Each structure stands twice: as C-alpha cells, then as structure tokens.
Amino acid sequence: MSQPAEVAASASTCSTDWGSTVKSALDTDAKPLRNITTAQSGCYDRMVFDVKGATGKLGYYVGYVDAFHQDGSGDPIPVGGGAILEIYVSAPSYDPVTSRQTYGGQAGKPLPGVDMAGYKTFRDARFGASFEGRTQVGLGVRARLPFRVLQAGDKLTVDVAHKW
C-alpha cells in the first residue's frame, strides 16, 4: 500500500546530482522480499523494497531500459511512462527454505497494493519475475530522470527526482 506523502521540500533544496546511469551493488545478504511500497516527497517519488530480516548489504541493479522483458522467459511486459527503470533486488519473492511465497507479485501485473495516482514522476510499476534469487520490477516514470538507491536496515529505496 502507498505510504502518506512526506514533508514537502522547497525546490531550492532538491538535489539533482544523482545522475541517470546504472547503479548496482553486490549482495551479501539475500533474504525474502516482504513488500514493496511507494511514497512522495517535494523532490522525488520513492519505491521501497522491504526485505525481511536483511542485516547486511543488499544486492541490486537499477538502470534505464528501452523495453521491459520478464527475467527468465524474455517475454515483453508493457510498462507505462516516458522511460522505464528496470530494478533487480537480490531478494526472492518466496522463502528459499520453504518455497512459500512472501510477496504476491505476478508477472506482468501491477504491484499489489501500489497506487501511483497523483505522483509527479511515477507512472506505472509492473512485476517482472522472481528468478534465481532476485526480484525484478519495471518502474515507469515520466521521463529519464536522475535516481538514487539507498539502503537503511532491511529496506532498499529507489528515489527518482521530479526534475533535473
């Protein structure tokens, strides 16, 4: 479910020096994905991956793509917006020990509980796959804008700026 809007920042405090090139990190703590939520601020729109029990560095790969294709099958998945960020998080949507699903994403479908109505930058989000220990999401944004990736505890955050 979407989170309430954060306190708005003035335009003069919005950083746009994040760039729009690929950002990645190797994983050292792959745990199951529990949830994906979104939020807004005065400077950016935010997507948060909640990785149950993660205590170390989470692996990820985030970059713009011309088209979104499901990991594993290669099937195309349409994603609305002027640009598409492909996001991989080293966290499967199932428990690797029990194989029980921990996040209800379905290939090609919108993310469960995520409503992007009224967002300045986000337009669409589609679940790609949970394949070989990582989860794939296609994030449709208004345009190819700067983004950053942050980790705080068991949460991996992708922020996309409202403007350059």
Q: Name beta bridge partners: 84.
A: 65, 140
Residue 35 has pLDDT above 50, yes or no: yes
Average pLDDT over residues 102-109: 97
Residue 23 has pLDDT above 90, yes or no: yes
- Residue 17 belongs to some domain of the structure: no
Alpha carbon distance 150, 89 (integer Å): 12
Average pLDDT over residues 72-77: 96
Alpha carbon distance 87, 84 (integer Å): 9
- Residue 2 belongs to some domain of the structure: no
Backbone phi and psi for residue 36, each to the nearest 5 degrees, phi listed first: -130, 125
Residue 29 has pLDDT above 90, yes or no: no
- Residue 80 belongs to some domain of the structure: yes
Average pLDDT over residues 119-138: 96
Q: What is the pTM of this model?
A: 0.90
**Cα within 13 Å of Cα(118), Cβ side:** 11
CATH number at residue 56: 2.60.40.3500
Number of domains in the chain: 1
Residue 117's contacts (CB-CB under 8 Å, 6 or more residues apart) are none
- Residue 31 belongs to some domain of the structure: yes
Specify the higher pLDDT residue, 11 or 36: 36
Q: Tell me, what's the pLDDT at 15? A: 78
Backbone phi and psi for residue 161, each to the nearest 5 degrees, phi listed first: -65, 155
Pairing of strands 134-141, 122-131: antiparallel
For the chain, the average pLDDT equals 91
- Residue 9 belongs to some domain of the structure: no
- Residue 47 belongs to some domain of the structure: yes
Domain extent for 97:
23-161
- Residue 101 belongs to some domain of the structure: yes
